[in-house]
Amino acid sequence: MKLNFIKTSPAGNTTVFILDQLPRDMHSQVARALMDPGSLYAEQVGFIEKPKEDPDGIRLQMMGGEFCGNASRSFAAYMVYSGYPQIGFENDSYIVPIQVSGLERDLVCRVYPTEIPSSFRASVEMPLPLSMHAEEFIISGEKRAAIRVDFPGITHFVVDEDNLRSRTEFFHLVRDKMSTESFEAFGIMYHNFEESTSSPLVYVKDTDSLVWERSCASGTAALGAAMAYLSGSDIQMEIKQPGGSLLIKVDWNGEETTSIILDGMVEIVAEGTVNL
């Protein structure tokens, strides 16, 4: 099988988009093959669909039906890169409405062109948390706290990695907890609060894939929301991750998060066909 693809790098979180129309029951199998080092070696895969109810529209369906902020930013950048007609231009940026899996409403991205035709800065207004609260885990008889942030399509746990003996041990505790629930994907943001650095780990159920991502947009949004929750104030900061930095801006009204804006670079790094 020969498939047409685009490969993007949003702050190092390599994302492949398949342009051909495939049945959704093939998505997980195809995604696993493309993520393999012997193939396109991506951290995640999305499928660009043409909705039956809107033949002129396009939609991003992620490999496990999850929501991904970096993929959403990359999808918007791809639409600008490919000259998709249904986008506007305002104040030096393209206004790009997108449909993505894991959400019941459209998102709006801003895409800023650069001097390099394949390089963009893209921001997205992230969905707000459905819920957010502290959860305790028992590790060798001692309590360790994490902030759980539930988004549409994915749940994240934000934890101070200095309080952990082992990242692997904490992952197994989280996986055991999530195994009792219905979920599409979950992630852990292992965060160093002194240096403002994070290491994102993401598990997607449908593809049974566990990836140390080089950056994670929804995890960064969860981290920002958690920090606003802990401080009781607005947050604007750069979060350094293995693949690059993402800028997060969170508005807090004293009781809850009211807005989350995520901003960062997106590179179109490859396009062509792949054989499976």
CATH number at residue 244: 3.10.310.10
| Same domain (yes/no): 98, 160 | no
Q: How far apart are the first and last CA of the chain?
A: 5
Helices (H), the chain: 27-35, 69-81, 167-178, 217-231
The answer to whether the CB of 75 falls within 8 A of the CB of 98 is yes
Q: What percent of the chain has pLDDT over 70?
A: 100
Residue range 146-157, pLDDT digits in tens: 999 999 888 999
The amino acid occupying position 152 is P
Q: How crowded is the C-beta side of 217, counted as CA atoms within 13 Å?
A: 31
* Six-digit token string for 16: 């492949």
Structural domains of the chain, count: 2
Residues labelled as active-site residues: 68, 216
Rounded CA separation 228/29 (Å): 39
| Same domain (yes/no): 102, 41 | yes
pLDDT per residue of the chain (276 residues) written in tens, 0 to 9: 999 999 999 999 999 999 999 999 999 999 999 999 999 999 999 999 987 777 678 899 999 888 888 999 999 999 999 999 878 898 899 999 999 998 878 888 999 999 999 999 999 999 899 999 999 998 877 888 899 999 988 899 999 988 888 899 999 999 999 999 998 889 999 999 888 899 999 998 888 889 999 999 999 999 999 999 999 999 999 999 999 999 999 999 988 999 999 999 999 999 999 999
Q: What is the pTM of this model?
A: 0.84
Spell 108-134 as b/e; 16+ CB within 10 A means b: ebbbbbeeeeebbbbbbebbbbeebee
| Same domain (yes/no): 156, 93 | no
Q: Which domain holds residue 169?
A: 131-263
